[in-house]
Structure formats: structure tokens, C-alpha cells
Copies of this chain bind each other. A is one copy, B any other.
Amino acid sequence: MIHFECDYLEGTHPRILQRLVQTNMEQSPGYGEDEHCKRARELIGARCGVDPSQVHFLVGGTQANSTVIDAILKPYQGVISALTGHINVHESGAIEMNGHKVLAIPGEGGKLTAQGISAYCQAHYADATHEHMVQPGMVYISFPTENGEIYTKEELSAIKLACQSAQMPLFIDGARLGYGLNAPSCDLTIEDIARLCDVFYIGGTKVGCLFGEAVVFSNAALSRDFRYMIKRHGGMFAKGRLLGLQFETLFEDGLYDEISRHAISLAMALKETFRECGIELYADSPTNQQFPILTREMAAELSKKYVFAKWADVDSEHVAVRFATSWATTQENVHALIEDIRAIAGAAN
């Protein structure tokens, strides 16, 4: 079987693995206070235009979301999210665990809009009983979204403005940030991301690392005592240098972008194939995940040779599925998949 069901199937990019082996016998202090973390913080800080002290490393995405949100909100506040937001759907209540309601509002696809955010806040404060309702305290968006979509600079700027008007910080979940920034249609740089939000994270787990997410506070006022928060959330990694050396490797000579571009170029070949074959897409993703809507027969046929993820039931005859690519996806496998899609789709027509 050839696997396309997600972007965390293999271990880690060979250059990270090599670094891990080389440094194995180094002795270093724990909890992120080592030289690798220091260097990784400097590289990321320089790249994003923030002070290195504002960079923190965590193990995974749910942990990052839960710790950042808990650090920012007051007890009676909630976090605005798209209905499809990871924190609203796929974190087993990790946000609620710390007492916060996810204020889920419809977006356009998986994207929030500035207008939707502003309307929600205005309605909240216009209600005479607003003290009886959870106060919106911050906004969470994913870039790319859970459906692979990206925001334009104009959209993100408008969202930032809407947040500022309502005095709410903006948090960007960048579990797949590289795939968003390197999408052909993306007009945002990582400095833009940093500038247009208050805190975001640079996903490692899904972009070549064994594990790890780099949380970056562009608004330093929000990161006070953040290490206490990390520890409290069970996220203070003992051998912190493992996180440091992975991000050091990703950011010292462009590996993060290189990995992302590789995966996107293969995903775009797939997308082109779906288009050619008249297969509709569940979401218009310019990133490493593609969501074709297949007939159930086509899905069954393809699943004899390929593994991919079910995404959503569309109707009794159609199902949306996910194909994901990564640093480890090969041209050969994608080529084989393309041939088979063409064959099956051709047969179907």
C-alpha cells in the first residue's frame, strides 16, 4: 500500500536525523535552556522579526493551542474560532479543560472573516445581558486552515484590524505554516504573519520534524511567565535540546521552506489531475493537502492500492477524502497515483 493519509507518516527529515545522531552524546541543561534552543530561538527570531526570548518550543499542536489560549484569556472569556477550527472539533475539549468556551462561528470554508468577527463582538456587547454570556477574548485561526485554505494579506490584515477594534489578541495555529507560506498563491511572508498577529506557531511535526512546534509571541506582553504555563500544562520537555536542534536544522539554511515546497509541488500535480479528470474539490487548497470529492466506487477502487483519509460524507454517492504530501512523499508514488486516478476516472467517464 502507498500511504497518503496524512503528513506525519514517517520519522524525520534526514538532515534532522543526522543532527540528532551527531549531538547525541552532548551534555546539556534541560527544559529548553541549552545551546540548540538558544540558536533556534535566534534563527527564528531573526527570521520573524521578533526578540529570540519570545520563541518557545512545545511538543505538539493541541498542547500549543491549549497552553497559548490558557495563557491569554481571562477566566470568563472564550476564543472565537471557525466551526471547523481544530480547537473546536479535534482536541477532546483541551480548551474547555482550562475553562474556556470555544465561540465557534461559521466562516467561509474553514476561514474566518473580519466581518464575522466584528459582527459577533458587536452583537455581544449590544446585548443587555452580555455579562451573562461568555466574553469574546481572542481570535484563533489556522493558517493554512484544516481544509488547506490560506488567507490573503488583505484578509489577514482586515482580521487583525477587527481584533484590534475589539481589543482581542489574534492567534494563528501554524501546524502546517510552511505549506501555507510556500503555496504558490500566498502573498504573505513569515514576517507578515508575525506582524499581523499577536502569537502564532511554526509547526514542526507535520513539516519534517520528529515532533515540535515553535510558539512565537510577536506581542511580548502576552508571554509573561509563559514557562510557568508550559510546565503547568505538562509541556516542559526535559531534554529540550531535541526541540532546539530540530528547529535549528529547519531554519539555518532554508530547510523549512524546501520541505514545504517539495510537498506542495507534488500536491499541485495531484490537484491538477483532479481538475483534468473533472473531479470536484471539497475545498480549494493551494497547500499540501488535497480534498477531492470521489464517487464511492472510485474511492473503493483507489483504496485497493492507496491509503488516504475519509474527510466528509458529501452525499450517498460521494465522499470527500484527503490526500496529503510531505517531505517524504516521492515523485514515483505521486506519479503512480496520478496514473491510477486518470485510469479510474477515464473508465468512469
Contact = CB atoms under 8 A, between A and B. Distances in A.
A295 interface: no
Given A30-B8, A75-B98, A97-B75, A90 B129 contact: yes
A228 B228 CA distance: 25
A210 B100 contact: no
A220 interface: no
Contacts of A100: 93, 96
A340 interface: no
Contact of A91 (B27, B132, B225, B239): B132
A227 interface: yes
Contacts of A10: 24-27
Residue with the greatest number of chain B CB neighbours at <10 A, chosen from A9, A74, A234, A237: A234
Given A11-B20, A76-B228, A234-B233, A131 B242 contact: no
A307 B272 CA distance: 59
A12 B14 CA distance: 18
A17 interface: yes
Given A11-B242, A90-B133, A242-B11, A70 B75 contact: yes
B231 A211 contact: no
A328 interface: yes
A213 to B, nearest CB: 10
Given A93-B99, A97-B233, A239 B24 contact: no
Interface string A1-31: 0010110111110100100110111111111
Contact of A92 (B12, B59, B232): B232
Interface residues of A, number: 74
A97 to B, nearest CB: 5
A325 interface: no
Contacts of A238: 8, 60-61, 205-206, 211
Given A75-B71, A229-B76, A231-B131, A242 B24 contact: no
Interface string A53-70: 000000111110011001
Residue with the greatest number of chain B CB neighbours at <10 A, chosen from A12, A92, A97: A92
Which 8 A-B pairs rank lowest in CB-CB distance, beginning with the nearest? A63-B234, A11-B24, A76-B228, A92-B231, A92-B232, A9-B27, A93-B134, A131-B227
Contacts of A70: 75
Contacts of A14: 24
A167 to B, nearest CB: 12
A8 B239 contact: yes
